[in-house]
Amino acid sequence: MKSKWRAGLMAMLLLGSSAAWAQRFNMGEVDVEVISDRGRPLSRYPLRDSGTAVYKAYVEAVRGQNYSIQIRNRTNQRIGVVVAVDGRNIISGDRSNLRPNERMYVLAPYQQESYEGWRTDKNRVNRFYFTDAGDSYSGAWGDYSAMGVIAVAAFREVEQYRSPVQPWTQEGPGYSDQRGLRRPPPEGAPPAAATPRAQSEPGTGYGESEWSPSRKVEFDPERRPFAQFFLKYAWRETLCRQGVIECGGGSRRPKNRFWNEDEDYVPPPPRDNREEWR
């Protein structure tokens, strides 16, 4: 691990905003971006963008690279976002199901914030960085159920917030205090056994501690998210092997015209030839 394990917790709002430029995953009312510390976009490959409230894409991960998750609220109302990395809530560290009763960050109207790591207390986070699954935060808990996935669920507020708007962020509706929070295992503690495949996949580590002030606010989310993002990050060699990207040198998996694992639905015929298909 890059740094010492720390106990998790506290309340959430990032003060200030990030000016780093990055690739945008745009679903109209919410943008989700994955960026490196150099402000460069991580290469991404959409799986399907059918205009629904669920967006899926592959993201190319680089071993040892720090990264941030940048989210922009494009609406004129506050929204709450539950963010999970490798299946774990980035505020509490608990296993996430992207539910409205989990700890979440809150964004003011048109606000953009960058989330750079696992929240360890009110004013600090431990950085996200790409590593092997066995060296990941989730792997330390023996949880390989959602390894390599950055997930974001965005919720609207039940009632319009009437107090003066401030760019605070919260832990979420279930918050009371530190009791019952799951603590990370001590440094060097062996993770639960994983399959060889899981060990070879990428995961997100529990990196260096950084200053990241936050503050608790009240927010009552609706029961269902209005948008969800699932970004599956993978090593370049994996993307080449799966045929997600063209790498040359025969590394791309041969395609079978009757079996395309990357497509879920039948695409429409080319616009110019539609009359011929009738």
One DSSP character per residue, 171-208 reads --TT---STTPPPPPPTTPPPPP--HHHHHSEEEEEEE
Look at residue 4 in the predicted model and tell me its pLDDT: 37
Q: Which amino acid is at 70?
A: Q
pLDDT at 251: 44
As a whole number of angstroms, the distance between CA 128 and CA 203 comes to: 10
Which DSSP string corresponds to 65-96? Answer: -EEEEEEEE-SSS-EEEEEEETTEETTT-SB-
pLDDT at 270: 56
> Phi and psi for 276 in degrees, rounded to 5?
-70, -25
Q: Are 120 and 182 in contact (CB under 8 A)?
A: no
Residue 61 pLDDT: 95
Residue 161, by phi and psi: left (phi above 0), alpha (psi -120 to 50) or beta? beta
- pLDDT for position 172: 40
Q: For residues 95 and 100, what is the distance between their CA atoms, to the nearest angstrom?
A: 14
C-alpha dihedral over 189, 192, 193, 195, to 10 degrees?
Answer: -120
172: left (phi over 0), alpha (psi -120 to 50) or beta: left
Instruction: Tell me if residue 124 falls in helix, strand or coil.
Output: strand
The predicted structure's pLDDT at residue 188: 52
Kindly report, residue by residue over 1-48, the tens digit of the pLDDT. 444 333 233 334 544 333 332 334 446 899 998 999 988 889 888 875
Q: What is the pLDDT of residues 221-244, one digit of tens each?
A: 999 999 999 999 999 999 998 888
Which pLDDT score is estimated for 222?
95
What is the pLDDT at residue 209? 92
Q: Domain ranges in the chain?
A: 25-236
Residue 159 CB-density burial (10 A; 0-12 exposed, 13-18 middle, 19+ buried): exposed
Tens digit of pLDDT per residue, the chain (278 long)? Answer: 444 333 233 334 544 333 332 334 446 899 998 999 988 889 888 875 555 678 899 999 999 999 999 999 999 999 999 999 999 999 999 999 999 999 999 999 999 999 999 999 989 999 999 999 999 999 999 999 999 999 999 999 997 655 554 444 444 433 322 323 334 544 554 455 555 555 578 999 999 999 999 999 999 999 999 999 999 999 999 999 888 888 875 444 445 445 445 545 444 455 555 454 44
Separation CA 34–CA 189 (nearest Å): 30
Task: Return the pLDDT at 187.
Answer: 55
The model's pTM is 0.72
CA distance 85 to 95: 10
* pLDDT of the residue at 261: 52
Q: What totals of helices (H) and strands (E) does the chain contain, helices first?
A: 4, 14
**So what's the pLDDT on residue 237?**
92
* Residue 226, pLDDT score: 93
> What is the model's pLDDT at position 247?
83
Identify the pLDDT of residue 159: 74
Q: What is the pLDDT of residue 140?
A: 93
Q: What is the CA radius of gyration of the chain?
A: 20
